[in-house]
Amino acid sequence: MVDLSQYLPIMIFLFIAVGLSAALVFLPIGVSYLTGAHNPNAAKLSEYECGFPAFEDPRSQFDVRFYLVAILFIVFDLEAAFLFPWAVSLKETGWAGWITMMVFLGELIIGYIYAWKKGALDWE
């Protein structure tokens, strides 16, 4: 027969975690329902972030250029993240590390030129 008593502390921890999570989520909702005034009107439901109504439907699709710029930002951000450790450890890696990083930078430059030629960086 299998002894499951070793799992008792884990189960207690999980029950406490689920209980605290539920309390931290549902307790404020319940308190606001019991103590708050529920009379929504046009002023409360109006736009408050920018001060004027939206020009179009907020669920409209974004142009693909937003995503291309975001992807290019991530690529060049990762490039910077790879350059810092390489620069710190260049003395230990020697010529092999330098050549490898130059190949990496060459690939990124080719990708940048490709994106530029395709018009991913043109903004209208």
Looking at the structure, do residues 68 and 25 belong to the same domain, yes or no? no
Q: Which domain holds residue 89?
A: 62-124
Residues 110 and 66 in one domain: yes
Query: Do 24 and 79 belong to one domain?
Result: no
Cα gap 104→89, rounded to integer Å: 16
Selected residue with higher pLDDT from 49 and 27: 27
Q: How many domains does the chain have?
A: 2
Residue 120 scores a pLDDT above 70: yes
Query: pLDDT tens digits for 35-82?
Result: 877 777 777 776 666 666 666 676 777 677 777 778 888 888 888 888
CA distance 30 to 36: 10
CA dihedral over 41, 44, 45, 51, signed as positive or negative: positive
Contact yes or no for 75/111 (Cβ under 8 A): yes
Residues 27 and 84 in one domain: no
Residue 42 lies inside a defined structural domain of this protein: no
Q: Are 68 and 120 in contact (CB under 8 A)?
A: yes
Residue 50 lies in a domain: no
Which range among 25-34, 56-65, 78-87 shows the weakest confidence by mean pLDDT?
56-65
Give the pLDDT of residue 8. 92
Indicate whether 12 and 67 sit together in one domain: no
Report the CATH number that the domain containing residue 95 is assigned in CATH: 1.20.58.1610
Q: Are both 20 and 68 inside the same structural domain?
A: no
Higher pLDDT, 52 or 120: 120
Q: What is the pLDDT of residue 106?
A: 92
pTM of the model as a whole: 0.45
Question: Is 106 a member of any domain?
Answer: yes
